[in-house]
Structure 1
């Protein structure tokens, strides 16, 4: 399949618009994303052994967000200066990290939702062996995401004609990111990759998150008799799962709507120049929304996770928790008194 745009030429105004959108949004989310995720890792490092509320998954989610945030300064430089003087390998690494972050975030948001729902529906099933299982789930998740995201950089052709005012052949004029030309690929293979990305990367995780939201909300209408007597705990779990669903719908749903449309533009499937121009202007906005999760995830931790409130309001918590943990070991009640 030839991805060159033969019927409608890309205007310089469109390219300038796209660069301005990327530069402004990435500049806005850089500082809060960096500070928020560093703070999240600091808090979760203290509480990872003290609670079973999906903290392992949230730590990995913060790592995924931090990886993308660290690549933002280079992206901002490129979109402000219209040049990439850092070489093709670094360009491809930053390009690759964008998609690894997005799909790792989707994966771990789904894991957080499933774990919080499970702790409400079946609280007695979680023990130390399950915590070790969470680590395995995280490791497998990273491996799958990294492997499945390889087609994104591999399908880019650094030696092709990007059909823009910049050239890929020389140093400071090297194009990068979405302006890298696509390799030739057959239509069936392209649509297969697109459908798999939509189903495995978004639709199935979204169904899991929405199902967990419904189950957790339904548990609030049940009698409180049982292992969990505190309705406040169920409400906190519902806030967490609802926050995951909100991040899905705000950050990732728009991108996965425009992704197949953008593919149709690049593959010359659409004939209307006005429609192609509209899609080209919408797609950068949805891609920026997908990056916004780097700043929204720390807010989700802060407003839905007790550990954040306790750690930030009482710096002495780690010492007191250490004392409580030692006392629990003496009395033999460590596992039964976990949150």
Structure 2
């Protein structure tokens, strides 16, 4: 059975066969610990931000526009990802102790939410383009916004599932047998194939789809739509246009900063899959890939700030959530103190009553 590591062709220079040693591509403990801390911060902040967005849309700001529906779905995709990320980290560091089902489900969950999240951000930019640049022509269409937006979101999630099929079908839970009998057997979760032709095809197709549909397509849509929006805003006579332009630029710049390094590293790694390379160079490439991947993960924490909390109405709903939580906590503390005080009075009254009865019987 062929795995990812069987396609790694390593160059040992002019060394003799006796000097050949296996190339250990495992990250060192310091890198693992650093990556764990960074991912923990991403999980905590992403969980808090996206939960607040979802709670706001569910209980305070009903989804009334297409952008609202898209942003709600983006928050759901990001939330699923930050919930899956700790489980992925745990399993990677513990030989996939949760078993083969967790291996397939977690890898597929990451893939689904990668595609759905990026495509939904493209939908947000498209909706803003229609609302601002094509405002007059789109009035009749946007009156039926909720119906269209829900159909589009369903299509996006369905497309993400279809694009995830290679990951779902070929991701397997594999025991990596070590050369030395005294070493423990390590377990990996990765793409695995029975035929060499299938391996070469899928190992090129999966990262290519990820780069093309998960990065390039949303980037092109965002650049086109937001360029037109900036042009329209600059022509408008509004005191708020400069702030709106800065927000648009921030959205595009953050998207590029977060995802361009990882996709460039992924492209470089994919192009060199079937070429001869040195062990040292392979370690450097994998390290760059891991660092850039962590930077890409940051985007799920920044989405709530860029797309939701930056809006005036959303900020007012967010403040209302904070007020309600504060009032609820005060009410809970007050009721707890009241019940405790009532209990103390009841106990002290009972003790006094029992003492009085005991004194009466003793006097008699």
TM interval, shorter chain, is 0.7 to 0.9
Name the counterpart of 1:286: 292
Query: Within the alignment, does 1:182 sit opposite 2:189 as a pair?
Result: no
- Counterparts of 1:279-318 in structure 2, within 5 Å, are 279-314=285-320
Name the counterpart of 2:61: 47
SS at match of 1:39: helix
Aligned-partner Cα distance in 2 for 1:196–1:13: 26
- The answer to whether the 8 Å contact 1:110/1:208 transfers is yes
Superposition RMSD in Å = 3.0
Of 69, 86, 96, 1:56 maps to 69
Query: Within the alignment, does 1:118 sit opposite 2:152 as a pair?
Result: no
Name the counterpart of 1:98: 110
SS at match of 1:83: coil
Query: Within the alignment, does 1:74 sit opposite 2:87 as a pair?
Result: yes
Name the counterpart of 1:244: 251
- The answer to whether the 8 Å contact 1:113/1:241 transfers is no
Would the alpha carbon gap of residues 26 and 238 (structure 1) be closer, same or farther in structure 2, given more than 3 Å must change?
same
Aligned-partner Cα distance in 1 for 2:214–2:321: 39
Query: Within the alignment, does 1:202 sit opposite 2:202 as a pair?
Result: no
Larger radius of gyration: 2
Aligned-partner Cα distance in 2 for 1:262–1:31: 30
Name the counterpart of 1:325: none
Name the counterpart of 1:148: 163
- The answer to whether the 8 Å contact 2:73/2:120 transfers is yes
**Cα deviation, residue 31, structure 1:** 1.3
Name the counterpart of 2:280: 274
Q: Which has the higher strand share?
A: 2
Aligned-partner Cα distance in 2 for 1:24–1:211: 37
Aligned-partner Cα distance in 1 for 2:267–2:150: 34
SS at match of 1:277: helix
Aligned-partner Cα distance in 1 for 2:192–2:251: 33
**Cα deviation, residue 276, structure 1:** 1.6
SS at match of 1:85: coil
Cα displacement string for residues 7-64 of structure 1 (whole angstroms, at most 9, x for unaligned residues):
26442663545533441221111111111111001112332344x3611100000000
Name the counterpart of 1:214: 227
Cα displacement string for residues 282-308 of structure 1 (whole angstroms, at most 9, x for unaligned residues):
111122222212211122134422232
Cα displacement string for residues 133-192 of structure 1 (whole angstroms, at most 9, x for unaligned residues):
01110000000011102212433343464879764xxxxx5433xxx3532425355434
Aligned-partner Cα distance in 1 for 2:177–2:254: 33
Structure 1: tracts of 5 or more residues without a match: 168-172, 225-229, 319-339
Count of aligned positions? 301
Aligned-partner Cα distance in 2 for 1:31–1:192: 33
Cα displacement string for residues 253-287 of structure 1 (whole angstroms, at most 9, x for unaligned residues):
2221111222345x341423332221111111122
- The answer to whether the 8 Å contact 2:204/2:270 transfers is no
**Cα deviation, residue 210, structure 1:** 0.8
Task: Calculate the TM-score normalised by the size of structure 1.
Answer: 0.77
Of 73, 98, 108, 1:86 maps to 98
Aligned-partner Cα distance in 2 for 1:272–1:75: 29
- Counterparts of 1:224-243 in structure 2, within 5 Å, are 224=237, 230=238, 232=240, 234=241, 237-243=244-250
Aligned-partner Cα distance in 2 for 1:207–1:166: 48
Aligned-partner Cα distance in 2 for 1:275–1:316: 50
**Cα deviation, residue 236, structure 1:** 5.8
Task: Calculate the TM-score normalised by the size of structure 2.
Answer: 0.72
Structure 2: tracts of 5 or more residues without a match: 12-21, 325-364
